[in-house]
Structure 1
Amino acid sequence: MASMNLNRVYIPANARNNQYILAEFKPENKFYDCFDNLKSCYERIARQLFALCDEYELHNVHLIANDKLPIVRFHEESHCLQTEKQILFFYNPQYHEAHKTYYHDDTAAKKIRLLFLATGDDIRANAAHFHNKVTKTLDALHNALTFKNVTFKVRDHQHLTYDVFAKSKGNKESYGYKLRSLYPRYQARNCTLPADHSEMTYATFSIPVTRSLKTEYQHLLLSDDCSQFYKTIEDLFLSACTNKHLTHSAFVANGRLPIIRNSRTDKSDGNCELQKLSFNIDNSDVQIKSIWQSDGLVDTMHFVVVAKASDKKDVGYGKFMNQVESMVKTFTSSLAISPQKQDINIRFFQHISYQY
């Protein structure tokens, strides 16, 4: 059906929508000096924050002051898991609610982060309204803080997740999306964003290294060298991207989770858990990031396709996502992945960030 309208992508009706807004600021020493101790600082901010959230009907909000990066995913059960570098929130927007704090009372956080998780139904349709409620809360919190000279960096994240093989599994019902960019979509819904902002739009998918995949490529897997296996996967992926005119892409197979950033504001970097990848979306030249470890086989391989500025159409990113879907199907068919038996979940990301 997608071929009927290149600017509209048909996504399974059971696709999952998520939205969260991260507002963070870097407290200086004189900010902390306004409080008796670190615990009283964090607890006071939390009390003010959660009181305002009750007023503006924000039902799932967290104060994070342990310098761990929040990662948000859909799950039928509510969980918060922490690693050395990440704090992972799993929740279902339809019924999970919480107001919680996470901090070390003996360590001053380099960043204080406020995480607002969207709740309720029709997350995408109500995204602008949710954003307005968050900015009203930030305004009120800023006025309530003892130390006024605080600038928030606000990041609005929206995800649309679905199995690209849903139709092969009998899920025939779909809905046509134009996937408009956030700025005009918010403007049309009376949500004003600063003209000076940064946007990123991209899609990710992951492929587990299953027994069948290892069997298929066992001739390339040596006990201490997986380079030929990864190089083969890389070549197949990049060839599929080239055929669909997708120029900004990444293949990550080093055990780290890829985090995508705009090169205007962030440089590529990494730690033991996260792989930050920066792309210049204003430059149409081919940009490829390929990072894998030759001395070990990972459990999961991650793939990223970033929309460049020229992929941003007035009607939306529907054409871009049709290209991505077609590429994923071509790529996975070359890996002998069964559409009837294995899920390949595409996650379509839209991010917008600005100083507030």
Structure 2
Amino acid sequence: MSLNHQQKVYIPKAARTNQYIAAEIKVTDALLAHYPDLKTCYQTVSRSIFNLADQEELSNIHVITNDKLPVVRFHTEAYCFQTAEQIILFYNPAYHEAQNLITDDNYRARKIRIVFLATGDEIRSNSASFHAKVQSFLTKLMPQLPENELTVKIRDHQHLSYDFFAKAKGNKESYGFKLRAIGPRYKARNCPLPEEHSSLSYVTVKLPLGRRLKQSILPEHTNDFTPLYQKLEDAFLHATSAKQLKQVAMVANGLTPLVRNSKYDQVDGTDEVQMIGFDPNQEEQQFVRHWDGSQLVETVSFTIVAGKKDYKDAGFGRFMNQVEDALKKFTSELELDRSHEDLIVRFHQHISYQNS
């Protein structure tokens, strides 16, 4: 196999790309001192944001002032759901536009979070220009705020998602991706990033626990699901170890997994979110598990993190080919029905940095 071929991963042509950028502004006493109350602060700041967004042609933007975590996913219809800790945004970047203030007038937020959703076609190809547009927006926004000591933390999230079993369902067309890292990709498109920025790339896999899978492993009428989880854990570790994928996780406790760079971010869990921390610069094997044999969940989440050796100018194609080979081995051992079951694979690329 040629080196160029190894550096590409062939993903179903129907794969979906997504990008959103979160800008976080700390809510300080100095900022609040300029307004009579919290409600006026949130409404005035959001009005400035939406007016500027119109001028800068940013057409899908959400302002969150209740400290809930935004989760963005593709859907043919636009929805915004709230849980106690999360804001779940569904949208189709080709069609949907929004200006939305999500707030609790009596709650003092730790930060005002502005979420910019990428719109249009060719999301991945245009990701650098979208990031540059958000940078320009923030440069113009900050002088409009009454407090000049504020700083902004920027988090850029990019996803590429597809059904691992797409070919078995008749979707045989694929496209070769090199999956270059965000830093070199942006630099080549005249959107340089600060020298001090955090980056993390990883894959998540969602495995539904269907009736057939459970019946093949568990005895009838049992309340102990340990054999099921242990079988999945053993098969997953065996498959990933064979491809030298060293930083992996399995979550089956009903919580939403959230992957962070442990060198820069806190990794405490909450009632809804299971934080998983990895340092991609470490070379040692790291396996994070969160499951409870007394609790049966609907879906098990697996995570595979790209290590330092995977961050190459050529991209993450080789890493993703290793992931795909591991998943083939993993799913073959479980004897899943590829023509009737979905196995959603999502390749994540994140960067974050402080913008003064």
Q: Normalization by structure 1: what TM-score?
A: 0.97
Pairing of 1:10-159 with structure 2 (within 5 A): 10-159=10-159
Distance 1:269 1:220, change over 3 A: farther
Aligned to 1:202: 202
Q: Distance in 2 between matches of 1:268 and 1:220?
A: 37
| AA aligned opposite 1:26 | K
Deviation at 1:4, TM superposition (A): 7.6
- The answer for the alignment partner of 2:353 in structure 1 is 354
Aligned-pair Cα RMSD in Å: 1.4
CA distance in 1, matches of 2:333, 2:272: 29
* Structure 2 unaligned regions, length at least 5: none
**Distance in 2 separating the partners of 1:103 and 1:268:** 25
Aligned residues: 355
- Match for residue 262 of structure 1? 261
**1:4 and 1:163 mapped to 2: Cα distance?**
25
Distance in 2, matches of 1:228 and 1:90, equals 35
Residues 256, 118 of structure 1: CA spacing in aligned structure 2 closer, same or farther, 3 A cutoff?
A: same
Letter in 2 for 1:269: D
Deviations 1:70-124 (A, max 9, x none): 0000001100000001000000000000001011111111121000000000000
Determine the C-alpha separation between the residues in 2 that align with 1:301 and 1:80. 24
Distance (Å, rounded) in 2 between the aligned partners of 1:239 and 1:267: 29
How far 1:25 sits from its partner (Å)?
Answer: 2.0
How far has the Cα of 1:266 moved from its partner?
1.9
Distance 1:149 1:220, change over 3 A: farther
Corresponding residue of 1:282: 281
- TM-superposed CA distance for 1:221, in Å, is 7.4
CA deviation profile, 1:156-205 (whole Å, cap 9, x unmatched): 00000011121222112111110000001000101121011010000001
1 CA distance for matches of 2:279 and 2:131?
26
Deviation at 1:220, TM superposition (A): 8.7
Does 2:127 align with 1:164?
A: no
Which residue is 1:326 aligned to?
A: 325
1:56 is displaced (CA, Å) by 1.0
Which ranges of structure 1 fall in alignment gaps of 5 or more residues? none
Q: Deviations over 1:212-271 (max 9, x none)?
A: 111111239732x22222112111111110011100000000001110011111233211
Question: What CA distance in whole angstroms lies between the structure 1 residues aligned with 2:8 and 2:278?
Answer: 25
For 1:313 and 1:103, how far apart are their aligned partners in 2?
Answer: 41
Go from structure 1 to structure 2 and tell me whether the alpha carbon gap of 1:188 and 1:3 turns closer, same or farther (over 3 Å shift): closer
For the residue of structure 2 that corresponds to 1:219, the secondary structure is coil
Distance change (3 Å), C-alpha of 1:220 and 1:199: farther
CA contact 2:218–2:227 (8 Å) conserved in 1: no
One-letter amino acid matched to 2:272: E
Identity of aligned residues (%): 48
Residue of structure 2 in register with 1:185 after alignment: 185
Secondary structure in 1 aligned to 2:156? strand
The C-alpha deviation readout for 1:8-41, integer Å capped at 9, x for no partner, is 0011111100000001022112211111111111
